[in-house]
Amino acid sequence: MASSSSLKPNFSSPLTSSPSPHSTQKPSSLLSFLHSTTSTPISLKLSSNPPHNNSHPRSKSFAVTNVVLKTDTSPETTSAPSNYSQDLGPPLTKPTILVSEKLGEKGLEVLREFGHVECLYDLSPDQLCSKISSCDALIVRSGTKVTRQVFEASNGRLKVVGRAGVGIDNVDLQAATEFGCLVVNAPTANTVAAAEHGIALLAAMARNVAQADASIKVGKWQRNKYVGVSLVGKTLAVMGFGKVGSEVARRAKGLGMNVIAHDPYAPADRARALGVELVSFDQAIGTADFISLHMPLTPATSKVFNDETFAKMKKGVRIINVARGGVIDEDALVKALDSGIVAQAALDVFTKEPPPKDSRLVQHENVTVTPHLGASTKEAQEGVAIEIAEAVVGALKGELSATAVNAPMVPPEVLSELSPYVALAEKLGRLAVQLVAGGSGIKSVKVVYKSARDPDDLDTRLLRAMITKGIIEPISSSFVNLVNADFTAKEKGLRISEERIVVDSSPEFPIDSIQVQISNVESKFASGISDNGDISIEGKVKYGTPHLTSVGSFAVDVSLEGNLILCRQVDQPGMIGQVGNILGEHNVNVSFMSVGRTVRRKKAIMAIGVDEKPDKEALKKIGEIPAIEEFVFLKL
Ligand SMILES: NC(=O)C1=CN([C@@H]2O[C@H](COP(=O)(O)OP(=O)(O)OC[C@H]3O[C@@H](n4cnc5c(N)ncnc54)[C@H](O)[C@@H]3O)[C@@H](O)[C@H]2O)C=CC1
Ligand SMILES: O=C(O)C(=O)COP(=O)(O)O
């Protein structure tokens, strides 16, 4: 018989009954994109921050941090209005942005225009943890460790971490992703500064500038002791041919050096254009007179310069490190310096910063050191500050970030094309999950995209995230955004597989239809089960609006706006009128109606779009219509 009771199916994961501690609070955040369950139109905002002080080409991709909906104000349809969304009217309160390390004044100005800015430097880990629960964004440089504890302590409030620089090895990215917190960096503004510092160290080391300076200041005049080596004609191996590495290479070529590079991911044409040969790791370290390090610190690069690799180097090699201390095993470097394998080292970065005062490495007479100054030029700091301030403000506003570190980049043209499908995807997820009978565990969801385009031409990550959001949010306390969608699904034991079917429709549109299937579950609405036993619903975008086009094996056609009543009834005259009358009597406005049937005068499905939720009395009356075999009310 008809039913419309509340729907609360379980995920099969043991985490279901007690949601993960970090997902208990649904932030009223812009970053929880499409947090509202409601209406069109969607407003997708793009931002492309122009690079400052940089000549390196930037990728033109954007990460979707948030898709802000122009929300309906009805409490039925709006779940978590933001209090500072531009799309939701004038801000009520400003977001709080904590700046934990010195940031250029121009960047602070950008931040102050948008939020309440607190500059608190030299916080201890405990102080940071206790402060963070009142902050929406945190801006750091390399000196602040943004650990899992920081995300835990934020209680879901922290939405963006901005790294005012390149290296994000001081941010626990996995934890950030799990907590749905976006991490953005400022990857371009200090490139030139770091490259120039690398060259400065290279030249200073080769000519013993620091040692000679120290010697003369204690009253000595040691011209014979500080005879240097020439750079011209020497081979420099650039390890990590990215932004800084290629700028170092360009400058070293200008000094008459022979430059080779090792970078497993660098495009050969970029190297070729600079006259640099890309070689293997062993070839690079085995032939170079100078080795300059420019790779990020990752598990793969951690201590990649160690006893074994130092042993493969040319005796008397000179090493420059402006990347990260952790790529070198510092004890091994001391040994290599003592044995003469490494003649000299010039280091701007250390495993532990600041290094211990009695560090043998720092004190070594053949080592030149600077206190992590690579990015420290006036120009770079101003550029970095503006770059990160714009990125953080943009992310807080819900714009797309070009510098997101832990969210997929979606090119803007792909995004604007996908925007109506984004709304469709979430609504299909929401509908499908509401058809699941309480008590059923959802394990497996299959999404089938039909498209005229080649499968490689269709980026579905955003759609998958939205379907995940649609499925998870109505039945749990988790919030889902593009940052954490895959993680949250996995955490809840939900396997989402995707299939793309090429169909003969217009390739002008990216997608013909999206079908969401939930396997091995019972349904509240038996007709929602397709012939293969799965709950199955399909939708299309028509005239720019999401439409439901099939439920189970029934074809329907109803715009996915407001709410929906699905009824299965005997196919006989007068049914639309009877249901319509009841809704009219109870002041429920019907926006759409569509009837689909299998066999004439046998079984039909009626999909009715309603603006308001019918009251219990109205639902009861619908259920009492004799020809109605089952029905369900679904919130979109
Ligand atoms: N000392 C300082 O103040 C500064 C330090 N840096 C550091 O310099 C490094 C490079 O920065 P960018 O050039 O801006 O980054 P980037 O991302 O443009 O370049 C890094 C390059 O390293 C390559 N790479 C990754 N794994 C590698 C491996 N196993 N072997 C060789 N190459 C590998 C990547 O393919 C990439 O091309 C980063 O660690 C960054 O944190 C950057 C700016 C200032
Ligand atoms: O950008 C980077 O990776 C840097 O190492 C610069 O660090 P800083 O911002 O000067 O602490």
Q: Is the alpha carbon torsion for 473, 479, 484, 487 positive or negative?
A: negative
Mutate which of 295, 376, 377 for ligand 1? The one with the most ligand atoms within 8 Å of its CB, which is 295
Query: Per the domain annotation, does 496 fall within a domain?
Result: yes
pLDDT tens profile 107-155: 999 999 999 999 999 999 999 999 999 999 999 999 999 999 999 999 9
Among the residue ranges 49-58, 256-265, 285-294, 298-307, the one predicted with the least confidence is 49-58
Q: What is the mean pLDDT of residues 219-247?
A: 97
Domain that holds residue 236: 190-369
> Closest Cα to atom 25, ligand 1: which residue?
295
Q: Is the pLDDT assigned to residue 477 strictly greater than 80?
A: no
Q: Is the pLDDT of residue 201 over 60?
A: yes
Nearest in space to 520 (alpha carbons), one of 434, 442, 446, 448:
442
**In this structure, what CATH number is given to the domain that contains residue 166?**
3.40.50.720
Q: What is the pLDDT of residues 430-461, one digit of tens each?
A: 999 999 986 567 889 999 999 998 877 777 88
Task: Please give the ipTM for the structure prediction.
Answer: 0.99
- What's the average model confidence in pLDDT over 553-564? 88
Q: Is residue 67 part of a domain?
A: no
In a domain, 355, yes or no: yes
Check pLDDT > 60 for residue 17. Answer: no
> 158 with 195, same domain?
no
Prior bond to 41 cis, omega within 30? Answer: yes
- Number of the ligand 1 atom closest to the C-alpha atom of 190: 43
Instruction: Find the range with the poorest average confidence among 86-100, 591-605, 615-629.
Output: 86-100
Asked if residue 325 and residue 208 are part of one domain, the reply reads yes
Atom 7 (ligand 2) nearest CA:
142
- Residues in contact with 10: Cβ distance below 8 Å, sequence separation at least 6, in sequence order: 16, 17, 439, 440, 441, 442, 475
Number of Cβ within a 10 Å radius of residue 96: 18
Do residues 249 and 276 both lie within one domain? yes
pLDDT at position 10, please? 47
Place of tokens 């990020």: 296
Counting ligands in written order, the one closest to the CA of 297 is 1
Residue that the structure tokens 């940031």 belong to: 103
Tokens linked to 389: 């301030």
Q: Are residues 155 and 261 part of one domain? A: no
Q: How far are the Cα atoms of 73, 116, 186, 187, 380 from residue 51, in angstroms, in the given order?
A: 38, 25, 9, 9, 11
Phi, psi dihedrals of residue 176, rounded to the nearest 5°: -55, -45
Per-residue pLDDT, 20: 37
**Tens digit of each residue's pLDDT (9 = 90 or more) over 562-613:** 899 999 888 888 888 888 899 999 999 998 888 877 666 678 888 899 988 8
Q: At what angle do helices 191-206 and 209-217 cross, to 10 degrees?
A: 60
Same domain assignment for residues 551 and 588 = yes
Q: Which residues line ligand 1 (CB under 6 A)?
A: 165-167, 187, 190-191, 194, 239-245, 262-266, 294-297, 300-301, 322-324, 348-349, 372, 374-375
Task: Look at the chain and report how many structural domains it folds into.
Answer: 3
Exposure string over 177-199, b if 16+ CB within 10 A, otherwise e? bbbbbbbbbbbbbbbbbbbbbbb
Model confidence at 409, pLDDT cuts 50, 70, 90, reads low
Mean pLDDT taken over the chain: 84
Q: How far is the CA of 165 from the centre of ligand 2 (A)?
A: 5
Q: Are residues 270 and 387 in the same domain?
A: no
Percent of the chain whose pLDDT exceeds 70: 83
- Tell how far the Cα of 184 is from the centroid of ligand 2, in angstroms: 14
Please state which of the ranges 162-166, 387-391, 612-616 shows the lowest mean pLDDT.
612-616
% the chain with pLDDT above 90: 58
239 pLDDT above the threshold of 70: yes
The residue whose CA is least distant from atom 7 of ligand 1 is: 323
89: pLDDT strictly greater than 80: no
Supply the residues annotated as catalytic: 324, 353, 372
**Residue 299 pLDDT > 90:** no
Span from the CA of 100 to the centroid of ligand 2 (angstroms): 14
| CA 297 to centroid of ligand 1, rounded, Å | 8
Among protein residues, the one whose CA lies closest to atom 5 of ligand 1: 323
Would you say residue 485 has pLDDT above 70?
yes
Question: How many other CB atoms are found less than 10 A from the CB of residue 621?
Answer: 17
pLDDT at 406: 85
pLDDT at 337 over 70: yes
Task: Work out the average pLDDT over 4-25.
Answer: 37
Same domain flag for 493 and 601: yes
Cα–Cα dist 132/151, whole Å: 8
Q: Is the CB of residue 284 less than 8 Å from the CB of residue 261?
A: yes
Average pLDDT over residues 91-104: 90
Closest listed ligand to the CA of 302: 1
**What's the confidence (pLDDT) of residue 48?**
32
Q: Say yes or no: 483 and 583 in one domain.
A: yes
Q: Look at residue 439 in the predicted model and tell me its pLDDT.
A: 58
Same domain for 342 and 439, yes or no, is no
Return the ligand 2 atom nearest residue 373 CA. Answer: 10
466 and 610 within one domain: yes
pLDDT of res. 82: 34
Mark whether 178 and 297 lie in a shared domain: no
Q: Looking at ligand 1, which atom is closest to the CA of residue 304?
A: 29
Entry pTM: 0.74
On whether residue 80 sits in a domain, the answer given is no
Spatial CA neighbour of 32 closest among 74, 73, 64: 64
Lowest mean pLDDT of 89-93, 183-187, 456-460, 612-616, name the range. Answer: 89-93
Residue 565 lies inside a defined structural domain of this protein: yes
Q: Are residues 390 and 326 in the same domain?
A: no
Output the pLDDT for position 6.
37
Q: How far is the CA of 349 from the centre of ligand 2 (A)?
A: 10
Residue 59 confidence (pLDDT) above 50:
no
Ligand showing the shortest atom-to-Cα distance for residue 162? 2
Compute the distance from residue 295 Cα to the ligand 1 centre, in Å. 3
- Per residue in 255-288, is it b (16+ CB within 10 Å) or e — as a string? eebbbbbbbeebeeebbeebebebbeeeebbeeb
53 in a structural domain: no
Q: Is residue 168 part of a domain?
A: yes
* Among the bound ligands, the one closest to the CA of 348: 1
Overall average pLDDT of the 70-79 stretch:
28
Residues facing residue 10 across a β-bridge: 441
Tokens of 261: 């590079």
Supply angle C-alpha 490, 420, 492, rounded to 5: 10
**C-alpha closest to that of 321 among 215, 152, 202:** 202
Residue 288, domain member (yes or no): yes
43-47, 161-165, 438-442: least confident range: 43-47
- Mean pLDDT within 198-217: 98
pLDDT at residue number 232: 98
Mean pLDDT of 282-297: 97
